[in-house]
């Protein structure tokens, strides 16, 4: 497919977790700009995202859910499918980070990060695939938001790094199982993006300067940088991609 329709999401319905701000909001707006209908799922208000989606002529449906409870998150996807129709794509974006020296990290901070960043991701993938595979001929696309820390260690973010290494492995595993069955599973590894999760780093002059000095693109990323990459992985243009995790990092990993 060589025309622009290869990059269109017209007629497709995409669920995006954590769409209230940051990368999730950027993905929602990019999906809408590409013609897709967005279902935003999260526990925070998504009014600002709804306004931004409307501004580009898109449709946005907000669904409240506790993504910290993997079973409830999976049940929410099933309810959306049953009550308002099938989904064509799933973007697992919601995630949290806890910063502490490894010797000081608490069990609570470990468990909360792993539940949201990894277990909920798996349960949502599982629920989505079950629904797609139950309908002969239906296809679906999953995009998991990993991190450059899926490939590196980082510092003071033990549970986050472990969870994002897990997302990388899970993306590859699910791709191997579901590629022949009509479900594409791929991921994006964002670099340092201007979001709430990186606010503490950007507020630290020394850390911010060190990070910026290593990025070949010489700037922090913007949420739309990730959003446009997600559109590609949700669109027909990426139909032969399975198990890929694309760095969108300004060249960070190439350095």
Instruction: Give 1's pLDDT tier (boundaries 50, 70, 90).
Output: very low
Instruction: Give 199's pLDDT tier (boundaries 50, 70, 90).
Output: confident
Q: pLDDT tens-digit profile of 201-246?
A: 899 999 899 999 999 999 999 999 999 999 999 999 999 999 999 9
Give pLDDT, residue 3. Answer: 60
The domain segmentation of the chain, as residue ranges, is 4-248
Please give the CATH topology (third level) of the domain spanning 4-248. Rossmann fold (3.40.50)
The verdict on pTM exceeding 0.75 is yes
Q: How far is CA 166 from CA 66, 98, 123, 163, 254, in A?
A: 21, 16, 13, 5, 22
Give pLDDT, residue 197. Answer: 78
Q: Where are the alpha helices (DSSP H) in the chain?
A: 22-33, 47-55, 70-84, 107-114, 120-133, 158-178, 199-203, 205-214, 223-234
The stretch 146-173 carries a mean pLDDT of 97
Give pLDDT, residue 96. Answer: 95
Catalytic residues: 160
Q: Is the pLDDT of residue 11 over 80?
A: yes
């Amino acid at each position: 497919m060589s025309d622009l329709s290869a990059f269109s999401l017209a007629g497709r319905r995409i669920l995006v977790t954590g769409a209230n701000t940051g990368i999730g909001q950027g993905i929602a707006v990019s999906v809408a700009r590409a013609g897709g209908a967005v279902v935003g799922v999260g526990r925070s208000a998504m009014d600002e995202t709804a306004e931004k989606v409307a501004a580009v002529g898109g449709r946005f449906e907000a669904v409240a859910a506790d993504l910290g409870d993997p079973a409830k998150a999976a049940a929410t996807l099933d309810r959306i499918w049953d009550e308002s129709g099938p989904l064509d794509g799933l973007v697992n974006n919601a995630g949290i980070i806890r910063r502490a020296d490894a010797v000081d990290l608490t069990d609570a901070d470990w468990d909360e990060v792993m539940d949201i960043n990894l277990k909920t991701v798996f349960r949502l993938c599982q629920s989505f695939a079950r629904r797609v595979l139950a309908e002969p001929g239906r296809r679906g696309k999953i995009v998991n938001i990993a991190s450059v820390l899926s490939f590196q260690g980082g510092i003071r973010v033990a549970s986050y790094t472990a969870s994002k290494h897990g997302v990388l492995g899970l993306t590859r595993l699910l791709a191997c199982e579901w590629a022949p069955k009509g479900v594409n599973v791929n991921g994006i590894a964002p670099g340092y993006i201007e979001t709430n999760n990186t606010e503490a780093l950007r507020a630290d002059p020394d850390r911010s300067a060190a990070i910026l000095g290593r990025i070949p693109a010489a700037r922090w990323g913007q949420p739309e940088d990730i959003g446009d990459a997600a559109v590609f992985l949700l669109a027909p243009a990426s139909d032969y991609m399975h198990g890929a995790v694309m760095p969108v990092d300004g060249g960070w990993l190439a350095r």
